[in-house]
C-alpha cells in the first residue's frame, strides 16, 4: 500500500486565478495595522514566561494567541507558530509547553470561532454565513470570498507576521507546525508566507479534499458530504470553492523544509491525502508513514522527529 501511495498525487488542479485570489486576500489584510499587543500572564512556571497576545487578522478582526518563551534567554529566539486541531482553541496558559521548553518562542494561535470542544478559545468570528452543516467545514462554502478558511488562513499568515514583530524573536528563524486542522493551516501558511525555515505537518486536514470527502469515514469531511446530501445540486459550487483551499496547491508553492506524517489507518484524514500533499510539495521534504496508527499518526514520536528537524533548520 505504501509503495502505491509514494506515487499518489490525486486529481486536484488549482484554479487559474488561485495566486491572484490569495494575493488580493492578503493585500486586503495588510491594509489593517497589525496592532500587536502582548500582556504578561502570571503563572507558577519557573522556566517559561507566558504572554497573552492579540493581533489583527482577516478584516482587521482581533485574533488571540499565547506566546510562551524560555525565561532564561540570550538574544533573539527562533520561533515556532502552532495551529491547533479542529474545534479546539488556544487552551490554558499552562498547556503546550513543549516548544518553549526546547528553547523556542512559541506562538499558539486561536482559530476564530472555535474553542468549544477540548480546549477553550477566545477569538470570535464576526462574519456571518449562509446555510451550513453543523461544524465549520461548510461555513460560507457557496463562495470562495465567504468561506470560513479564507479568514482562518489569513489569520495564520498574520500570526507569522505577528511573531516576527516580537522583540524577543529572530524574524529570520520562524517555523510552523500543526496536527490535523492545524497541519492543514500550517501547510497553507507554508505556501503563502515567505522565508519560513521549517514546517511540520502531522496528519494534515484539507488536503486532496474531493478524495478525502469520498473516502473518510470519521471527522470533519463528513460535514461536507452531509451538506451535499441535502444540497444535491451544489457539488460543483462546493468543490469550486474548496479548490482555493486545498493543501496540494499550497504544497506546490512551498519551499521551506517540511516533515509530514500520516497514519496508514487514518479514517479522519486518509493517508492518501497526506501523500498527495507530500508528493506535490516543492521544497525539501520527508514523510513518515505509521503502518498501524490512525489519526494520531506517530504521536510523540512525530514531535521527537520535529524537534530534531527544527533544531537543525530553525
Q: Angle, to 10 degrees, between the axis of helix 221-230 and the axis of helix 235-242?
A: 150
Residues 6+ apart with CB under 8 A from 289: 2, 5, 261, 262, 263, 264, 271, 275
Element (H, E) at 82: strand 77-83
What order do you get walking across the sheet with 77-83 strand by strand?
Answer: 37-41, 48-56, 62-70, 105-109, 77-83, 169-179, 198-202, 258-263, 285-290
Asked about 180 being catalytic, the answer comes back as yes
Q: What is d(CA 271, CA 294) in angstroms, rounded to the nearest whole number?
A: 9
Question: In this structure, what C-alpha cell is assigned to residue 101?
Answer: 521548553
Q: Write out the three cell numbers for 63.
A: 485574533
Q: What SS3 string covers 291-302?
A: CCCCCCCCCHHH
User: Helices 148-164 and 181-192: crossing angle, nearest 10°?
Assistant: 70
Residue 144, helix vs strand vs coil: coil
Integer CA distances (angstroms), 6 to 3, 14, 64, 96, in order: 5, 21, 38, 32
- Catalytic residue (one of 216, 295, 302, 313): 295
Catalytic annotation present for 110: no
According to DSSP, the residues that pair with 208 across neighbouring strands are none
Q: Is 86 annotated as a binding residue?
A: yes
User: Of residues 155, 266, 272, 302, which has the active-site annotation?
Assistant: 266
Q: Around Cβ 237, how many Cβ atoms within 10 Å? A: 14
* Residue 92 among the catalytic residues: no
The single residue of 87, 88, 180, 272 carrying the catalytic annotation is 180
Residues with a catalytic annotation lie at: 180, 266, 295
User: Annotated binding site for substrate: which residue ranges?
Assistant: 86
User: Annotated binding site: which residue ranges?
Assistant: 86
Amino acid at each position: 500500500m505504501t509503495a502505491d501511495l509514494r506515487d499518489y498525487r490525486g486529481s486536484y488542479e488549482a484554479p487559474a486565478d488561485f495566486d491572484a485570489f490569495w494575493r488580493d486576500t492578503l493585500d486586503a489584510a495588510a491594509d489593517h495595522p497589525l496592532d500587536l499587543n502582548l500582556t504578561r500572564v502570571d503563572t507558577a512556571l519557573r522556566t517559561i514566561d507566558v504572554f497573552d497576545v492579540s493581533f489583527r487578522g482577516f478584516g482587521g478582526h482581533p485574533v488571540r494567541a499565547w506566546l510562551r518563551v524560555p525565561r532564561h534567554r540570550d538574544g533573539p529566539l527562533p520561533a515556532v507558530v502552532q495551529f491547533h486541531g479542529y474545534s479546539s482553541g488556544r487552551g490554558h496558559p499552562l498547556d503546550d509547553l513543549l516548544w518553549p521548553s526546547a528553547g523556542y518562542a512559541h506562538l499558539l494561535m486561536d482559530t476564530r470561532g472555535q474553542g468549544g470542544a477540548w480546549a477553550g478559545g477566545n477569538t470570535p468570528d464576526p462574519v456571518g454565513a449562509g446555510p451550513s452543516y453543523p461544524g465549520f467545514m461548510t461555513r460560507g462554502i457557496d463562495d470562495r470570498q465567504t468561506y470560513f478558511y479564507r479568514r482562518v488562513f489569513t489569520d495564520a499568515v498574520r500570526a507569522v507576521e505577528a511573531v516576527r514583530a516580537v522583540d524577543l524573536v529572530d524574524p529570520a528563524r520562524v517555523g510552523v507546525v500543526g496536527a490535523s486542522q492545524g497541519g492543514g493551516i500550517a501547510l497553507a501558511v507554508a505556501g503563502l508566507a515567505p522565508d519560513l525555515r521549517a514546517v511540520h505537518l502531522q496528519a494534515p486536514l484539507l488536503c486532496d479534499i474531493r478524495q478525502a470527502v469520498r473516502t473518510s469515514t470519521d471527522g470533519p469531511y463528513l460535514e461536507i458530504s452531509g451538506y451535499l446530501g441535502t444540497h444535491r445540486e451544489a457539488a460543483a459550487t462546493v468543490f469550486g470553492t474548496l479548490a482555493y483551499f486545498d493543501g496540494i496547491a499550497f504544497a506546490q508553492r512551498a519551499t521551506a523544509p517540511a516533515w509530514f506524517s500520516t497514519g496508514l489507518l487514518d479514517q479522519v484524514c486518509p493517508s492518501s491525502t497526506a501523500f498527495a500533499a507530500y508528493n506535490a510539495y516543492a521544497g525539501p521534504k520527508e514523510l513518515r508513514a505509521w503502518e498501524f496508527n490512525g489519526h494520531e499518526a506517530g504521536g510523540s514520536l512525530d514531535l521527537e522527529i520535529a524537534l530534531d528537524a527544527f533544531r537543525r533548520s530553525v
